[in-house]
Amino acid sequence: MTKLVEKQGGSFYTGEYRNLFKEIGKTEEEINQRIKDNWEQLFNGAEDTRIYYPVGDNLGYMLDTGNLDVRTEGMSYGMMMAVQMDNKDVFDRLWKWTFDYMYMTTGENAGYFAWSCQPDGTKNAYGPAPDGEEFFAMALFFASHRWGDGPEPFNYSVQAKEILRTCLHKGEDGVGFPMWNKENKLIKFIPNCEFSDPSYHLPHFYELFALWAYEEDRAFWKEASMASREYLKISCHPETGLAPEYAYYDGTPNNERGYGHFFSDAYRVAVNIGLDFEWFRGDAWETEEANNIQAFFADKDPADYRRYTIAGESFEEKSLHPVGLLATNAMASLAADGPDRLKWVESFWNTPVRTGERRYYDNCLYFFSLLALSGNYKIWMP
């Protein structure tokens, strides 16, 4: 079972957030300027760095520059970045674009958001991706607590609760499927399948959903937080710390379509381990896991990052997102206590945002790591 470490250390209990950049000798002024500069690059910068595009007077979207589409992943990430940066204009533009173009009102997925659209808002698919929904809900709760609710669709807390209700209760009328398996409390890769994606598991979010969701669902979210921590233990390799992109409910890699290896999706596991430890000190195992990941990559050059089996065997295929992988490995330092934890922070500090075609995913992970390592990825309470 989950072994909780001292809760007093988690930011949820103390209201304090560690700044690992200060631990490597950076000043408050340097850190704040770095955050400001990187935000400008991603949201207002030149075409080789920006991933956010405003539209008209009140809309905006995050562009997946490698695939030239707009994804619930990126839109929800952008909203989380905006609320952490106290930028209500960007947040509201992203949310209105999402609500206007991605929200589905008919069919078996009514109540969910289409996971991919074209930049003009045309849907590329009519299926959802659960990682978008869970990030939308968390960002909307934080927005409600930071800025207060407004008229629909800016009644943020109501929108968050409705998203979570749909995620759990979809299909009870015989139409569609929920995003969580109600028996084992694990998030699915997509609603109409019965396997998971370890990087979708956000126990630190579920702890907060257990406080703020509709009352009848709160017990489920508390159980889901514990179930996800246990699931991460069985899906991450005990020596390398690597997780597959897709995994069955017993934690074994699901390689039916070639997604049973450590590749792009799986980079986010280190992020989620780090943030759960920072916010809640969720499980003592998270320190061991963070140490394992950092040790595995300690002798590897980011220019030569590759696809790996979870046991650590490398493929010829290079990583599509080496900057993102370096950033997530650095964010694991929030949970790590190994000898190289601050070397990863230093390495990240010395790495610029990615430019060019594949910059979107790398720079989303990059900015989350920047916020977290500086103590600025915060829980916004009511």
Tell me which residue of 196, 184, 212, 34 sits closest to 129, measured CA to CA. 196
Length of the chain: 382
> Both tokens of residue 290?
């963070």
Tell me which residue of 335, 324, 346, 343 sits closest to 26, measured CA to CA. 346
> Both tokens of residue 57?
């007077």
Nearest 10 degrees: Cα torsion 30, 36, 37, 41: 160
Report CA 306 to chain centroid distance, whole Å.
Answer: 21
> Both tokens of residue 204?
């630190």
Point out which residues pair with 59 in neighbouring strands. Answer: 55
User: In 10 A of CB 53, how many CB atoms?
Assistant: 15
Answer yes or no: 265 catalytic: yes
Select which of 69, 92, 245, 265 is catalytic: 265
| SS3 label, residue 305 | coil
Asked if 133 and 150 count as a contact pair (C-beta separation under 8 A), the reply is no
Tell me which residue of 209, 81, 97 sits closest to 157, measured CA to CA. 209
Select which of 64, 73, 131, 362 is catalytic: 73
Answer yes or no: 37 catalytic: no
AA identity, residue 328: T
Q: Which residues does the annotation mark as catalytic?
A: 73, 265
